[in-house]
A and B are shown apart, each in its own frame.
Chain A
Amino acid sequence: MQTVNVARDFTRFPSGRYKRNGATSGEAFREQFLEPPLLKGEDVTVELDGTLGYGSSFLEEAFGGAVRTTKLRPEKLLSHLRIVSSDDELVAEVKQYILEAKPSP
């Protein structure tokens, strides 16, 4: 089980959806920390606390985008992913993005 703390391991200032707009985007986070273990079928824990705050587009691209790029069904992805935060609503929002995402054809 890998554990990634967004604030410590990625950035305290997550910003934006796409890499073309910055290295602290949801796409960059997903490619660096989520896709490698998930594509190998490994479990990963993501700790969300400690950042400046998340825009919804960052979260949707990072986590919803993981469904699209790994082509894992949302339920399967959730079985490998543990989201940790003191904010239950934030955790629920991330899970919602995963459940609502559709794998890319």
Chain B
Amino acid sequence: MPASSIGGEALTFALNTATVVIGWGVVHWLSSNRDREKSRREMVAKSADALVEETNKIFVDARKYHTEQRDLALETKLKVDLQDLSNCARSLVMLSSDAALLATCRSLTRAYWKAITGGHFEDEHDGPLAQRCSQLELIAAQSLFLKQAFMNLKYQQWANA
């Protein structure tokens, strides 16, 4: 067999091998990216669900706090839980790049905080509020807005997919 023929076959083999390897590399990279993106979306969704649940728990505690005699332990719990909710809402930026939705989540978390602690809180608590008072209605409204914002962030993950 002439040397040029052997060299040609070797070159063909090398090119075929390189093509297979590169092709495998590209497929693997694309597949990894897809899996990573899927995991990211699921993590955002899971985080949003957890934040909705936390918002609900805080709502129950807030109603109890404002409609009963002042409870110092519950007062501390509310502050800690609201701080935690705020920290978690801000941390979502590490998972999601939906800047507008994240900003809405953060500002509504703050508004929820203000609704609960902005009046009749700590040394302003002078006895139970009536069940239908405006502050309780505000807390309920802010709770709904905040939960909707978390849900919007969750659903947007699949709208972008």
Binding site for B on A (CB under 8 A): 13, 15-18, 20-22, 25, 51-58, 60, 86-90, 92-93
The verdict on A89 contacting B119 (CB below 8 Å), with A52-B80, A53-B80, A57-B124 known, is no
The verdict on A17 contacting B122 (CB below 8 Å), with A52-B83, A55-B79, A86-B90 known, is yes
Main secondary structure of the interface of A (DSSP, over half): loop
CA distance A8 to B80 in the complex (A): 18
Inter-chain contacts of A90 with B (CB < 8 A): 86, 110
Inter-chain contacts of B106 with A (CB < 8 A): 88-89
**A52 close to B123 (CB less than 8 A):** no
CA distance A57 to B90 in the complex (A): 23
In the complex, 26 of the A-B residue pairs with CB atoms within 8 angstroms, ordered by the A residue number, are: A15-B122, A16-B122, A17-B122, A17-B123, A21-B122, A22-B123, A25-B123, A51-B83, A52-B80, A53-B83, A54-B79, A55-B79, A55-B117, A55-B121, A56-B117, A56-B118, A56-B121, A57-B117, A57-B118, A60-B118, A86-B90, A87-B86, A87-B90, A89-B86, A93-B110, A93-B114
- For the A-B complex with A20-B123, A60-B118, A90-B110 known, give 16 more contacts whose Cβ atoms are closer than 8 Å: A15-B123, A16-B123, A18-B123, A25-B123, A52-B76, A52-B79, A53-B80, A53-B82, A56-B118, A56-B119, A57-B117, A57-B118, A88-B106, A89-B109, A89-B110, A93-B110
Question: In the complex, what residue of chain A is closest to B82 when comparing beta carbons?
Answer: A53
Inter-chain contacts of B110 with A (CB < 8 A): 89-90, 92-93
Question: In the complex, what residue of chain A is closest to B79 when comparing beta carbons?
Answer: A53
CA distance A58 to B121 in the complex (A): 10
Inter-chain contacts of A18 with B (CB < 8 A): 123
CA distance A52 to B86 in the complex (A): 12
Binding site for A on B (CB under 8 A): 76, 79-80, 82-83, 86, 90, 106-107, 109-110, 113-114, 117-119, 121-124
**A56 close to B123 (CB less than 8 A):** no
Inter-chain contacts of A57 with B (CB < 8 A): 117-119, 121-124
**Most-contacted residue by chain B among A13, A18, A53, A57 (CB, 10 A):** A53
CA distance A18 to B76 in the complex (A): 17
| Nearest CB of chain A from residue B7's CB, rounded to whole Å | 65
**A58 close to B122 (CB less than 8 A):** yes
**Most-contacted residue by chain A among B76, B119, B124 (CB, 10 A):** B124
